[in-house]
Chain A
Amino acid sequence: MTAAAIAVRGLGKSFGSRTALRAVDLEVAAGELLGIVGPNGAGKTTLLRTLVGLVPPSHGSLAVLGHDPRTASLAIRRRTSYLPGETGVYLQMTGAQFLRFAAGFHPRQQTALRDRLLDGFALPLRQKVRSYSAGMKQKLAVAAALAPDVDLYLLDEPDRALDASVRFFLRDVLLDLQRAGKTIVLSSHHLGEVETLADRLEFLLDGAFVPPAAVQAARARLRRRPRLRLGDGAELPAGARLLQREADGTLLVETDGDPMAWLRATPPGAIDSAEVGVPRLEDLYQLLLRAPGGRP
């Protein structure tokens, strides 16, 4: 990792009275794989659109591959492949026609990677895209976005509508791309998978990145919040308080100390099953939104 592929300082974007991004600072080194997570409406798409020059920022300075998207977006787009958040594929084309059309804009293509993607995705390329399912359309869009041989890949929820096995396959492909020296910025809702993939993870909330210390504190607190199902007729043992009862009967509780120690101390048969140390993204958002240092 050497020079910064992306350098953003104090980036802000407003749409009328609504603020989508507020004073975002971001630096992504060349060859880095950055994951951005955040709830819907946090500003992930706006940030990616700003980086590729589709949306002009309201204020702040930014440089992508050494160019300012406000004045040289074309130079950036020549060296960048962008996957929009909304699956943009032409329904009237066949899958093969769409790939050819998309490839026509970037003269240098990674044919081996494209073939690997198409093998892994197993798309019926001779059929019209109109007949594809949502997942197949997303696979086609991902294949078209990853095939160009460019320096930077901006991927807005590439794993959307993909099932788990395809997401794992995609993760391997992205890791290989990174090993080849490409810079990748992707947004996602799958916290666990992005964590295992990305060099760095940033939480975007209400249009700004959450400070790492606040994320660490929230995660530490979440580690004390197991999800569990009680045994038949059992009451919640002492040493934990109920935070939330979900529709399927699962309880979200917060323990006073180490949740593993608390679980070990509970009477036999009181707990049917428990999930500890696997923070869910939505829980993390809720906690960050309520935490004093969490909300930006």
Chain B
Amino acid sequence: MIAGKTWREVRVMALAYLLILELLCVPVLLLWPEIYGDLQRSTLMRNLGIDFLKRIGEGVSNKSEQVAYLNWCAVMLFFRSTNLVGVAAAVLLGTGLFAREREAQTFEFLLARPVSRPRILWQKFWPCALAVTLPIYAVSWSAVYWSHRLELELPLGPLLLASTHAAAFVLMFLALTTWLSVRCRVQAHVAAWVGALAVVQIGIYLTQRIRPYSLFRLADFDWYGPILSGNTTARQMFDPLHGPGFTTWVLLAAALCYGLALRALRRAEP
């Protein structure tokens, strides 16, 4: 019942999110030949003072068009689109999960149903989780089709791995927002907290010396580029003993936030 209601509430937003992701993806892929030519001629990106932008510039203007294209996809599909639109969608959906129930005075009605609180949380969470993760896979797979039209290869395995990491990263934000949504009485407060966190994290990311401490370091070009090029294996993604294991850390953070949300909901009073 609750999951069905949640899905009906989020499905339009999920569709809009999918369309936005796809619209962000198609032009940058279809315009690739011209962009690659421009990037080859321009030295601007490679001479930028900001280290990660310089690496991006070097990556997307690589002499091998195939390597440059994979780096371009890492930047555009993942570093830009899912970090921007995916995180925004997760925050938008998660914000209202419980705070909106409080605002609409339906929180007490919901808690008084003969359903356990862990089940309430799960039935509200998983439709949102699907809504924010499935479009990432859908758009990634559509990118394979667009790449074929350009006669370039976008390998499915690495693409699936990168999509999985992007989905995990978005899930982490959804779980964080859900936790805050259980704790806060007003949706605007949830949005303010997550917005403030995102701004601080972006600020940290843009400061070279402290960049490793930013959440966005877990989902930037330096992470997605090697995955799409096949230089980072699934084991290195998931096993912290054999690589950075960022995906595992992100999933653990998502699980931690979900656990905090569950704890808060168990203690919540109408």
Whether A and B are associated in the same complex: the answer reads: yes
Interface presence of B27 (CB below 8 A): no
Q: How far is the CA of A87 from the CA of B116 in the complex (A)?
A: 22
Which residues from chain B contact A77 at a C-beta distance below 8 Å?
112-114
Q: What string of 1s and 0s marks CB contacts (under 8 Å) between B103-120 and chain A?
A: 011111111111110000
Q: How far is the CA of A2 from the CA of B111 in the complex (A)?
A: 30
Determine whether the beta carbon of B108 is less than 8 Å from that of A84.
yes
| CB-based nearest A residue for B268 | A54
Shortest Cβ distance from residue A145 to the other chain B in the assembled complex, whole angstroms: 9
Interface presence of B54 (CB below 8 A): no
- Which B90-138 residues sit within 8 Å CB-CB of chain A? 104-116
| CB-based nearest B residue for A141 | B109
Given contacts A87-B105, A88-B105, A91-B104, contact A101 B114 (CB under 8 A): no
Which residues from chain B contact A49 at a C-beta distance below 8 Å?
108, 269-270
Determine whether the beta carbon of B104 is less than 8 Å from that of A54.
no
Q: Main SS of the interface on chain B?
A: loop
Q: How far is the CA of A78 from the CA of B112 in the complex (A)?
A: 10
Given contacts A74-B116, A105-B115, contact A88 B5 (CB under 8 A): no
Determine whether the beta carbon of A54 is less than 8 Å from that of B269.
yes
Interface presence of B38 (CB below 8 A): no
Determine whether the beta carbon of B1 is less than 8 Å from that of A54.
no
B112 touches which one: A54, A91, A101 (CB < 8 A)?
A54
A86 touches which one: B5, B105, B110 (CB < 8 A)?
B105
Given contacts A54-B111, A87-B105, contact A92 B9 (CB under 8 A): yes
Interface presence of A218 (CB below 8 A): no
Which residues from chain B contact A87 at a C-beta distance below 8 Å?
105
Determine whether the beta carbon of A55 is less than 8 Å from that of B108.
no
Determine whether the beta carbon of B1 is less than 8 Å from that of A101.
yes
Interface presence of A269 (CB below 8 A): no
Q: How far is the CA of A84 from the CA of B109 in the complex (A)?
A: 6
Interface presence of A90 (CB below 8 A): yes
A105 touches which one: B9, B105, B113 (CB < 8 A)?
B113
Shortest Cβ distance from residue B186 to the other chain A in the assembled complex, whole angstroms: 16
Interface presence of A36 (CB below 8 A): no
Which residues from chain B contact A55 at a C-beta distance below 8 Å?
269-270
| CB-based nearest A residue for B101 | A88
A89 touches which one: B5, B106, B114, B116 (CB < 8 A)?
B106
Given contacts A52-B112, A77-B114, A84-B112, contact A90 B270 (CB under 8 A): no
Which residues from chain B contact A84 at a C-beta distance below 8 Å?
105, 108-109, 112, 270
Determine whether the beta carbon of B106 is less than 8 Å from that of A88.
yes
Determine whether the beta carbon of B108 is less than 8 Å from that of A86.
yes
Q: How far is the CA of A84 from the CA of B108 in the complex (A)?
A: 7
Q: How far is the CA of A203 from the CA of B111 in the complex (A)?
A: 27
Interface presence of A160 (CB below 8 A): no
Which residues from chain A contact B110 at a C-beta distance below 8 Å?
88
B109 touches which one: A78, A88, A92 (CB < 8 A)?
A88
Q: How far is the CA of A2 from the CA of B248 in the complex (A)?
A: 58
| CB-based nearest B residue for A148 | B114
Q: How far is the CA of A191 from the CA of B115 in the complex (A)?
A: 34
Q: How far is the CA of A173 from the CA of B107 in the complex (A)?
A: 27
- Which A32-91 residues sit within 8 Å CB-CB of chain B? 49, 52, 54-55, 74, 77-78, 82, 84, 86-91
Given contacts A88-B105, A88-B108, A90-B106, contact A105 B270 (CB under 8 A): no
Which residues from chain B contact A89 at a C-beta distance below 8 Å?
106, 109
Q: How far is the CA of A92 from the CA of B6 in the complex (A)?
A: 12
From A82, A87, A91, name the one whose CB has the most chain B CB atoms within 10 angstroms: A82
Interface presence of A104 (CB below 8 A): yes
| CB-based nearest B residue for A106 | B114
Q: How far is the CA of A141 from the CA of B9 in the complex (A)?
A: 21
Which residues from chain A contact B113 at a C-beta distance below 8 Å?
77, 105
Which residues from chain A contact B114 at a C-beta distance below 8 Å?
74, 77-78, 105-106
Known contacts A52-B112, A54-B112, A78-B114; 11 further A-B pairs (Cβ under 8 A):
A54-B108, A74-B115, A82-B112, A84-B108, A84-B109, A84-B112, A86-B105, A88-B106, A88-B107, A89-B109, A104-B1
The 4 closest A-B pairs by CB, nearest first: A88-B109, A77-B114, A104-B1, A84-B108
Q: A-contacting residues of B (Cβ < 8 Å)?
A: 1, 5, 9, 104-116, 269-270
Q: B-contacting residues of A (Cβ < 8 Å)?
A: 49, 52, 54-55, 74, 77-78, 82, 84, 86-92, 101, 104-106, 141
Instruction: Please name 5 pairs of A and B residues whose Cβ atoms are closer than 8 Å in the assembled complex, sorted by A.
Output: A55-B269, A88-B104, A88-B109, A88-B110, A105-B1
